Structure 1
Amino acid sequence: MLSSLLWLKQDLRLDDNPALQAGLHSERLLPLYVFDPRHWRIGPLGCRRQGVHRTRFLLESLAALDVALRQRSSSLLVLHGEPERLIPELVARLGLQQVLTQAEIAPEEQAVQTRLRAALGKVALLELPGNGLLREAELPCPPDRLPQVFSRFREQCEARLPVFQPQPAPNALPPLPEAALDWLQPLPSLSQLGLGEPLSVPSSSFPFAGGEAAALARLRDYLWDSQGVRHYKDTRNGLIGSEYSSKFSPWLANGSLSVRRVLAELRRHEALYGRNDSTHCLWVELLWRDFFRWTLVRHGRALFRAAGMKATAHAPQQLDERFERWCRGATGMPFVDANMRELAATGFISNRGRQVVASYLINDLQQDWRHGAAWFEEHLLDYDPASNWGNWVHRAGVASDPRHARAFNALRQARQYDPDASYVSLWMPELRSVAAHLRHTPFLLPRLQLEALHYPRLEQVPETWRPYLPGAA
């Protein structure tokens, strides 16, 4: 009788899950999630790998997954410890014959998988495709020959558009190994994981719950009910509210939502309602996500080094109190500070906001980009190693695509995307008493007035900001 362990990680769903599909051939199947304590320890760059917002979202996702499993006469086992130590012990005690899990593409996760394979000995560890869009056989060429510039990657992929047939969630699952019932335990709380309880923020741009049911509900709403996807190109640079973008990314990041399911539904939508610039824009964003995944596969640890993928490039490597002020949302540049406060309070900021604050840290504050990437890693709901570190190396100018090394003019961005300062007003209550036309530039206020607001003064106004200062200045 074949008994299998299904080790779930960033694939917390039943729909279109290759590792789960492989487990359907077993007589007994034990779904497992391991809380690895290393994820909540302070790392070498001064941040946790996972903070309170993503952990809360993870716990919601696991609770939803357990409900779905129980509806199919199964259940989710959760354990605490290092997977490469716990899993071989569990396999031995329960007499399991194989371990099924998703393949990893990031170096640290690959290292854990390698140690697990060695510890399992003769027990097979089968690695199934992760939550990427294109499998290796579906690429236009071998991974080591893929274009390193996104525009060419996109051209080659669009020359042979893939058609996906995602596998639906099974109606039934193999029963648990009998002895596994003694191992079942409730999910931990945030406090048991050493984290506090995050405050509920009514103005969050991501007011959604974790889990596959919530992910599929959002997919259904955005593509079919509200059809927000048809306006995506016009709204994608928004800053306030839940509807300016798809908001799929947190569910994609922990695998509650299959990216191949998203694309299949997008193609079905286009077949019924027609393709427009907005539906095409969403497809391009899905391609960007895959471009970063294959960049990580190709370059590995280089993506996490100061020089990135360019040994000759020189990104700033200093770190001082300006980084701490950036983290706290106290730089004196309101548009940057508003985004950083939203991130700390909710775990989410817009794509536009991410680009602006990253550019500001690197180009205006001249700080080490890796610490910014690590801060994002801890705080973002939708952290994904390939997309996060890939975007940061592009912004730092140490990627393979030179077009993304340009610096953003933060004040110009603020004027363009927050013209009435409504976003700054939302997240910066100390500036609400300032005249609206000065809320982006409080550094122009008299010293005593600014001190009364308890908001820091910007030390130096860049010359490039002059055209975007208020006329009265």
Structure 2
Amino acid sequence: MQTSLLWLKQDLRLDDNPALQAGLKSERLLPLYVIDPRTLSLGPMGTRRQGVHRTRLLLESLSALDDALRQRGSRLLVLQGEPERVIAQLVERLGVQEVLTHAEIAPEERALQRRVRDALGVVPLRECPGNGLLREAELPCPPEDLPHVFTRFRELCERRSRVFQPHAAPSALPALPDAALDLLQPLPTLAQLGLSEPSKVPASAFPFSGGEAAAQARLRDYLWNSQGVRQYKDTRNGLVGTEYSTKFSPWLANGCLSARRVVAELQRHESQYGRNDSTHWLWVELLWRDFFRWTLVRHGSALFKAGGLKGAARTPRNLDERFQHWCAGRTGMPFVDANMRELAATGFMSNRGRQVVASYLVHDLQQDWRHGAAWFEEHLLDYDPASNWGNWAYLAGVGNDPRQNRVFNVLRQAYQYDADARYVSLWMPELHTLPAHLRHTPFLLPARQLEAMRYPRLEQIPETWRPYLPVV
């Protein structure tokens, strides 16, 4: 009798899950998730690989997955420990003949996969496609020949249209191995994992729950009920609320939502309602996600080095109190501080905000971009190694970009995307006593007034900001 173990990681769904589909051929199948304590401890950059917000979303997603498995005659086993040890012990104890999982693309995750394979000995570890959009056979050329610039990658990918046909969730699953029933246990709490419970924040742009059902509900709403997708290109640079962007990214990152399912539904929407600039732009954004994934496959550990893909020698290496001020949302530049406070409080930040704060850290504060990327890694709900580190390298001028310096004028950005200071007002209560037209520039106020507000003073005003300063 074939007994298989399904090692789940960033694929916490039943819909369009290649590893799960492969497991349907087994007589017995044990779905397993291993919480690795190493991801919750401080790393060499002083940050965790996974912080409280993503862990909260993870636990919700695991609970939802267990419910869905129960409905199909199975269960989810969640254990804590180092996967290479936990999985090898389970395989021996339960007589497992094969371990199924999805393929990894990041260096540390690949190294872990190799350690698990080595620990299994003669028991095979079978790797199935991960949650990308284009499989290797569907690329316009071999991965090593892919263009370094996104525009060219996009042109090649769009030369022929593709129809995505994701596999629906199975209606039933193989039974668990009998001996696995005694191993089932309740999910750990955040406190048991050494993390505090995050506060509920009414202003959160991502108030949604973890899990496949929540992800599918959002997909249906955005593409079919509200049809927010039809205005996506116009609203995607918004800052406040749930509807300015798709909000798919946290579920894509932990695998509650299949990227191929999103595109299949998008194509179905376009066939019924027509294609417009906004529906096409969502496709472009999903291509960006795949572009970063294949960049990581191609370049590996180079993406995580100070010089990035270009081996640039002049990128800032500083790390001083200005970095701590940036993390805490206390730089003295309200638009930057508001975004950083939203991230710390909720685990989410708009795409526009991410570009602005990254540019400010690297180009205005002259700090090491890798520490900014590591801070995002700990705090973002939708952290994904390829997109996070790829975007940071891109903004730092060491990624796949023909331009060396992608510098944002932060004050101009503030007035362009938060003209009425609504966003800043939402996250910066100490500025509420100021007139709206001064909430982006409190550094122009007398020092005593700033001290009374308990807000730090920006010591140096860049010359490029001068044309955008109000008359006080």
Short-chain TM bin: over 0.9
Pairwise mapping of residues 123-272 of structure 1 onto structure 2 (< 5 A)? 123-272=123-272
Aligned partners of 2:296 and 2:394: how far apart in 1?
A: 13
Deviation at 1:316, TM superposition (A): 0.5
Equivalent residues of 2:229, 2:279 under 8 A apart: yes
Structure 1 match to 2:122: 122
Classify the secondary structure of the residue corresponding to 1:402: coil
Classify the secondary structure of the residue corresponding to 2:307: coil
TM-score (structure 2 length as normaliser): 0.99
Classify the secondary structure of the residue corresponding to 1:403: coil
Gaps of 5+ in 1: none
Pairwise mapping of residues 334-345 of structure 1 onto structure 2 (< 5 A)? 334-345=334-345
Deviation at 1:109, TM superposition (A): 0.5
Deviation at 1:447, TM superposition (A): 1.2
Deviation at 1:315, TM superposition (A): 1.0
Aligned partners of 2:404 and 2:355: how far apart in 1?
A: 10
Equivalent residues of 1:313, 1:397 under 8 A apart: no
Equivalent residues of 1:47, 1:374 under 8 A apart: yes
Equivalent residues of 2:34, 2:83 under 8 A apart: yes
Equivalent residues of 2:398, 2:404 under 8 A apart: no
Q: What amino acid sits opposite 2:236 in the alignment? A: R
Structure 2 match to 1:374: 374
Classify the secondary structure of the residue corresponding to 1:309: helix
Equivalent residues of 2:338, 2:423 under 8 A apart: yes
Deviations 1:364-417 (A, max 9, x none): 000000000000000000000000000000001001312373100000000000
Cα distance change, pair 195–404 in 1 and its aligned pair in 2 (3 A)? farther
User: 2:310 aligned with 1:316, yes or no?
Assistant: no
User: 2:60 aligned with 1:60, yes or no?
Assistant: yes
User: 2:88 aligned with 1:88, yes or no?
Assistant: yes
> Identity of aligned pairs, percent?
77
Aligned partners of 1:59 and 1:399: how far apart in 2?
A: 33
Equivalent residues of 1:140, 1:160 under 8 A apart: no
Structure 1 match to 2:97: 97
Deviation at 1:228, TM superposition (A): 0.2
Deviation at 1:52, TM superposition (A): 0.4
Aligned partners of 1:449 and 1:407: how far apart in 2?
A: 31
Classify the secondary structure of the residue corresponding to 2:310: coil
Aligned partners of 1:104 and 1:418: how far apart in 2?
A: 39
Equivalent residues of 2:14, 2:169 under 8 A apart: yes
Equivalent residues of 1:395, 1:404 under 8 A apart: no
Structure 2 match to 1:48: 48
Structure 2 match to 1:333: 333
Deviations 1:60-90 (A, max 9, x none): 0000000000000100001110001110110
Aligned partners of 1:401 and 1:138: how far apart in 2?
A: 24
Classify the secondary structure of the residue corresponding to 1:202: coil
Aligned partners of 1:53 and 1:312: how far apart in 2?
A: 33
Q: What amino acid sits opposite 2:229 in the alignment? A: V
Structure 1 match to 2:462: 462
Aligned partners of 1:220 and 1:429: how far apart in 2?
A: 36
Structure 1 match to 2:303: 303
Aligned partners of 2:111 and 2:455: how far apart in 1?
A: 45
Deviations 1:174-231 (A, max 9, x none): 0000000011011000001110000000000001000000000000000000000000
Moved more, 313-322 or 366-375: 313-322
Classify the secondary structure of the residue corresponding to 1:450: helix
Deviation at 1:163, TM superposition (A): 1.2
Aligned partners of 1:468 and 1:423: how far apart in 2?
A: 18
Equivalent residues of 1:397, 1:404 under 8 A apart: yes
Equivalent residues of 2:29, 2:177 under 8 A apart: yes
TM-score (structure 1 length as normaliser): 0.99
Q: What amino acid sits opposite 2:441 in the alignment? A: T
Pairwise mapping of residues 332-411 of structure 1 onto structure 2 (< 5 A)? 332-403=332-403, 405-411=405-411
Q: What amino acid sits opposite 1:407 in the alignment? A: V
Deviations 1:304-328 (A, max 9, x none): 0000011244210110000000000
User: 2:432 aligned with 1:432, yes or no?
Assistant: yes
Deviations 1:248-283 (A, max 9, x none): 000000000000000000000000000000001100
Q: What amino acid sits opposite 1:445 in the alignment? A: L
Q: What amino acid sits opposite 2:61 in the alignment? A: S
Deviations 1:78-123 (A, max 9, x none): 1110001110110000001000000000000000100111111110
Aligned positions, number: 472
Equivalent residues of 2:360, 2:408 under 8 A apart: yes
Structure 2 match to 1:25: 25
Structure 2 match to 1:448: 448
Aligned partners of 2:312 and 2:118: how far apart in 1?
A: 37
Q: What amino acid sits opposite 2:349 in the alignment? A: I
Aligned partners of 2:182 and 2:307: how far apart in 1?
A: 50
Equivalent residues of 2:376, 2:388 under 8 A apart: yes
Aligned partners of 2:178 and 2:108: how far apart in 1?
A: 33
Structure 2 match to 1:422: 422
Q: What amino acid sits opposite 2:93 in the alignment? A: R
Classify the secondary structure of the residue corresponding to 2:172: coil
Taking only aligned residues, the RMSD between alpha carbons, in angstroms, comes to 0.7
Which consecutive aligned stretches of 4+ in structure 1 deviate over 2 angstroms post-superposition? 402-405
Aligned partners of 2:298 and 2:405: how far apart in 1?
A: 20
Aligned partners of 1:46 and 1:15: how far apart in 2?
A: 37
Classify the secondary structure of the residue corresponding to 2:7: strand
Classify the secondary structure of the residue corresponding to 1:405: coil
Deviation at 1:160, TM superposition (A): 1.7
Moved more, 304-313 or 17-26: 304-313
Aligned partners of 1:26 and 1:34: how far apart in 2?
A: 21
Classify the secondary structure of the residue corresponding to 1:434: coil
Aligned partners of 2:36 and 2:450: how far apart in 1?
A: 46
Aligned partners of 2:52 and 2:265: how far apart in 1?
A: 32
